[in-house]
Chains A and B, each alone.
Chain A
Amino acid sequence: MEALILDIQRMSTEDGPGLRTTVFFKGCNLACGWCHNPESISFKPDLNWYMNKCINCDSCKDICPNGVLIKDESGVHFKDRSKCLTCGKCVDECPGAGIELKGKKISVEKLKNELLKDRAYFGHDGGVTLSGGEVMMQPQAATELAKLLKADGVSVAIDTAGCYAWSLLESILPYADIFLYDLKIFDADAHKKHTRVDNAHILDNYKRLIATGARVWVRTPLIAGATDGEDNIKAIAEFLRDNGLPERWELCTFNNLCKDKYTRLDLDWEYKAHEKTKKSYAEKLKETAQKYVPCAVYSGVTTE
């Protein structure tokens, strides 16, 4: 069995308890406008450009079998990205580290061995986090991987947006020690507008998940004009109160530090010029949240 993965991040301190190795599965069924990992959305490999590492040797342009690369005063770039075959020849040819093909297939067994290289650092609370993209869009690979890790005595965290049939979540439940569960927008229409999917599954899956007694950390990104309305926070808070409190609820403040990721993919990003969350506002939302959910906190950079 194979998984399509984007990357492995070792010694991650932000993907659950303890020190963790996080594997990012590629492909997501949501399309949130503010996404911080745009390279994780597509279910196909993507070419990423790191212009600051380019040494202007033209190797990529010369080798491209489809001739989709051109060079002008701004350097080498796509004439038409849609015609790229993602054959990876330019990546092999590049003498530097200027181009990367994000997304590779790897057998679950091999992946597990790779993820266990840092086992000595996991301690009693750390482990492996399966993240994405949406890891549950590769349910068989994800479940198989979690099963193998669990059998090896390693703690598994599932970082998910929860938008799929309950049966998928149910099948991975026996092998997961903690869920990092995203609740972005409570209102169904608004959710659809900003993420292009309905949130009925998400809310329903949360109810079922928390009812099983699973360990859950909920995360809500604070996105201006989308998720950071006080009414939205209040609605999620009430939902959590009424259906079962998570162990932690994190309001993640916004910053635009991922904008280069969009450039690397030749994409425009509607949030590129958005301001960071104001500290006073984050505090206010936290207070609102805590009225219903005492464990609520906010995290991330803020501005005064």
Chain B
Amino acid sequence: MGQIKQPKNLSPRIQWLRDYYFKGFDREWNNEDRPFTTGTPWDSNYNEMTYYVVPETYTFFSTFTAGYRYGAKKIEPPKDFFKQSIAERRAWFVKKAIVENVPQEILPGDLLCGANFNLSASLCLDKKEAADKDKVILNKKNGLRKQTFEFHDKGYGNCGPTSGHLQPGYEIPVKYGFKHVNDDLKARYAKLSEDEKKGSKGAQLRAMISASEMPRDLAAKYSDLCFKKAENEADETRKAELIQMGENLKIVPWLPAQNFWQAVQSLWFTHMLVMTDESYPGPGVSFGRVDQYLYPYYKKSLEEGMSPEFMKEVLKCMWIHCNTAYDAMIRVGMDQGITAGYGQLLMLSGCGKNGEDLTNDLTYLFLDVIDEMSPMLEPKPNVRLHRNTPEKLLDIVCSMIAESQGAPFLLNFDERSMAGLLHEAKFAGIQKLINEDNVWDYGSVGCLENTMIGNDRSQTVDVNLNFLKAVELTLGNGKDIVPYTDKLWGKVYKSGQDGPETGDPRMFNTFTEFYSAFKTQTKYIIKRIVDLYNVGDALRTKYLPTPYLSCLVKGCADSGKDVTQGGAEIKFVTVEGVTFASTVDSLLAVKYLIYDKKVCTVDRLIQALKENWEGSENEKLRAIAKNKAPKYGRDDEEADALAQDFMKFWANEVPKYHTTTGHQYRGGMLSWNYWVGDGYVLFASPDGRRRGQFLSNAICPSNGADINGPTSNINSVGTALGGKDESGKYVNWLPNGASHTITLSPSLIRDDEHKAKLKNLLRGCVENGGTALQINILDVATLKDAQKNPEDYRHLLVRVTGYNAYFTAIGRELQNEIIERESHQQF
């Protein structure tokens, strides 16, 4: 392993800001959540449903609810406040809080305004609304909270309406200003009939009109602050900067940006207020194709004499601001699972309508900033690659991968991704909104979830389903086969007839019968998670509007509906399939052990699973399951065919469902950290995994299963998504896309000649791979872990000399030697 990646070329200004940020809780300033309340006895400023997808937090809900409420500052609502719609109340309250009750601050040297944006604003409900909402959630018998906990405790997964995860139409305020948005809303309102004005549409538009003025009012405050600070500034250069910052905010975000600095200021202001409005920091609120919509400003400023170095300086300030979203969790530490990546994603490069490449000079400027600032978590860059990606871009991408432990960006593959979005357009009948002529203008949110930009909310992390549960229900004829425990009280749940009776598996004569029963159980777990999610989603629809965000999502103004009420033009909910490879491998193991080779009976297998594969007889069976049964992820035709069949089946099952607001379900694969945590929950599985061992991650093969190396792994992933049809067109049944990570040895990219080989790998990925790829360059720690847990690293390819070898297939001493070598990198 080479040097740990370090930031570089930072000016004293940026170095100071970066260092200051990393002081964390020791800073005198931070952006932690500021709680505000209307002061009513029933008020709440914490919405636990946004955390239903974070099982680690389940035990803290009561504490959080009380804590946020207890520390909250009161903002006196105006008279008749509770006679307004919830959206109007919320628009007023959030604006009042952020503009008048949160201090405006500017850090030394900072070129962008807009700090202190994390709020826990009152939900602004009246007594009855609050009681009605709480009744659904807290009802002891079958409240949503109880159901959510049980759902997770029993290994099904988790779901809940959470925030963010979209690409708002940021280009509009940058290009036209919020005044344009505000004027448009007012004009729409004026056209309403008196009845409509009195109704929900009128209320929503009034809320949005009010919300669209929030950036103007806050900008005025910051502008004044800049001028005030400038007066007291001794340093002439800084004084001039502060004056210009004040001038910038006299224009943006209310009016169109006139240069690059203003455009970035406008973008940051607009973006941070989304997090304010949702009272939830950062998750997947993504910037879209920044190198495209900021390019005109880059070009203009360049012509006007602004140096690219200064533009980078402005962007680097934005980088720091993005990271302060994490301050919301500053008191629980920077490394807690829940702060591991908010995913304010930005897109770079990509193809145009005719497959032409859209990389420009600003793309390269962004890459410079990424390279110079990393390692830093936010924002999360995503580089789009496609068949016509230029060599220059690939050279830079490969160099940056080579110099980092993990690539400092995600890679997205256009052709496969676009095939998925066209697929959803077809099954949802929205070809007017997504079609061959505009699909190239897509982007990703959060981690890698593909959506359209500015008019699309696809709720991409809200529904996380463990497929492996369906294998258990198949083996148990609709019942659990092992006991599950209530995590809060330690009580064992009763094992009832949860799933349908698909038949005693001992009576199945063929794998086809088993597989067919499994599909029925899969339908059941899909229906179950949809039913559960729809309860929470309906509550959000009724009680938790985000009128400011709605100003930035096309469709909301047209329909007079909030984005939480199905206002967006394109609306889906994404079922993120978890445990895909664990499930496919388990099915393959059942097929091999019971039907193909008749190694054991169903009873014998169930017994081994109940005993967590422990004991020497179980151990032998487990070894066969792990080593002899086929596995997904090694370009094996039989295994990958099953993976593909199951993928097609479940991905076509979920669109049968909708939420109450007409969001249609669609498929994706993103396992966040569930594959680790739920590994302790779910039963020992037929693939040889013990309870307590990790599950497979997203669309990746199970740990250690991809024994034929990275290319076969990548081929399997592409095949699972649908491969290509007879005419060579890409098929992709997961519109959302699927997370895929591979690990490479640093020795494989040790010099320019080898970096060029990595380019070939990436070009191959465009053809054969999935929708996205994250590359890790393994480090010594990984190698040491591989020594300890060889079965998890059977894919790890290292260069020995003149040939590559699988690290775990070589002896201990040699492993040590290679570790030593990687530590010193003597090539």
Contacts and interface: CB of A to CB of B under 8 A. Distances in A.
Interface of A: 9-15, 18-19, 36-37, 50, 52-53, 55, 57, 59, 95-97, 117-118, 120-123, 125-126, 219, 252-253, 255, 257-260, 263, 279, 299-303
Given A13-B799, A52-B811, A97-B627, A57 B620 contact: yes
A15 B801 CA distance: 11
A55 B711 contact: no
Nearest to B803: A14
Interface in B744-788: 748, 754, 756-757, 759-761, 763-764, 767-768
Nearest to B747: A13
Contacts of B353: none
Given A11-B761, A301-B826, A302-B826, A252 B801 contact: yes
13 contacts: A10-B711, A13-B748, A19-B711, A19-B761, A50-B809, A52-B790, A95-B624, A123-B764, A125-B760, A126-B757, A257-B800, A299-B802, A300-B801
Given A57-B616, A95-B621, A95-B624, A300 B802 contact: yes
A58 B417 CA distance: 50
A118 B805 CA distance: 18
A257 B817 contact: yes
Given A9-B803, A10-B712, 20 more contacts: A9-B709, A10-B711, A11-B710, A14-B804, A18-B760, A50-B809, A55-B619, A55-B623, A97-B627, A118-B711, A121-B763, A123-B764, A125-B760, A126-B760, A252-B801, A252-B802, A253-B801, A257-B805, A257-B810, A279-B826
B385 to A, nearest CB: 13
Interface string B799-822: 111111100111110100110010
B708 interface: yes
Contact of B821 (A95, A118, A301): A301
B802 A14 contact: yes
A296 B699 CA distance: 44
Given A19-B760, A55-B620, A123-B763, A36 B768 contact: no
Nearest to B751: A299
A255 B805 CA distance: 14
A95 B757 contact: no
A263 B811 contact: yes
A109 B712 CA distance: 20
Nearest to B799: A14
Contacts of B803: 9, 12, 14-15, 36-37
Nearest to B599: A95
B623 A96 contact: yes
Nearest to A279: B826
Contacts of A96: 623, 626-627
Interface of B: 616, 619-621, 623-624, 626-628, 635, 708-712, 715, 748, 754, 756-757, 759-761, 763-764, 767-768, 790, 797, 799-805, 808-812, 814, 817-818, 821, 826-827
Nearest to A124: B760
Contacts of A55: 619-620, 623
B797 A11 contact: yes
A131 to B, nearest CB: 9
A120 B413 CA distance: 14
A257 B814 CA distance: 6
Given A11-B711, A13-B804, A118-B711, A18 B757 contact: yes
Q: Secondary structure at chain B's binding surface: helix, strand, loop or mixed?
A: helix
A36 B712 contact: no
B84 to A, nearest CB: 59
A147 to B, nearest CB: 24
Contacts of A36: 801-803
A259 B800 CA distance: 12
Contact of A120 (B767, B812, B817): B767
Contact of A255 (B620, B757, B801): B801
A19 B757 contact: yes
Contacts of B814: 257, 259-260
Given A10-B708, A301-B821, A118 B811 contact: no
Q: Secondary structure at chain A's binding surface: helix, strand, loop or mixed?
A: loop
Which 3 pairs between the two chains have the least Cβ-Cβ distance? A121-B764, A95-B623, A120-B767
A15 B757 CA distance: 12
A19 B814 CA distance: 25
B812 A52 contact: yes
Nearest to B760: A123
A112 B790 CA distance: 32
Contact of B801 (A53, A122, A257): A257
A117 B803 CA distance: 20
A301 B827 contact: yes
Nearest to A18: B760
A242 B675 CA distance: 63
Contacts of B797: 11
A260 B811 contact: yes
B801 A123 contact: no
Given A14-B802, A97-B627, A279-B826, A260 B768 contact: no
A59 B624 CA distance: 12
Contacts of A50: 809
Given A11-B797, A55-B619, A122 B760 contact: yes
Contacts of B616: 57
A90 to B, nearest CB: 14
Given A95-B627, A257-B817, A10 B799 contact: no
Contacts of A10: 708-709, 711-712
A258 B805 CA distance: 10
A9 B804 contact: yes
Contacts of A126: 757, 760
Contacts of A279: 826
Contact of A57 (B623, B712, B826): B623
Contacts of A120: 763-764, 767-768
A96 B768 CA distance: 31
A252 to B, nearest CB: 5
A118 B92 CA distance: 59
A117 B799 contact: no
A303 to B, nearest CB: 8
Given A13-B748, A13-B754, A255 B800 contact: yes
Nearest to A258: B800
Nearest to A48: B809
Choose among A14, A121, A122, A279 the residue with the greatest number of B CB atoms under 10 Å from its CB: A121
A257 B626 CA distance: 28
Nearest to A121: B764
B498 to A, nearest CB: 33
Contacts of B635: 117
A276 to B, nearest CB: 9
Contact of B810 (A11, A18, A118, A260): A260
A219 B801 CA distance: 13
Nearest to A303: B826
Contacts of B623: 55, 57, 95-96
Contacts of A263: 811
A18 B760 CA distance: 7
Contacts of B627: 95-97
Contacts of B754: 13
B801 A118 contact: no
Choose among A13, A14, A37, A57 the residue with the greatest number of B CB atoms under 10 Å from its CB: A13
Nearest to B817: A257
Contacts of A52: 790, 808, 811-812
Choose among B627, B711, B800 the residue with the greatest number of A CB atoms under 10 Å from its CB: B711
Contacts of B818: 257
Given A257-B814, A259-B814, A11 B800 contact: no
A303 B821 CA distance: 10
Nearest to B745: A13
Contacts of A257: 800-801, 805, 810, 814, 817-818
A10 B811 CA distance: 22
Contact of A118 (B620, B764, B799): B764
A264 to B, nearest CB: 9
Contacts of A219: 802
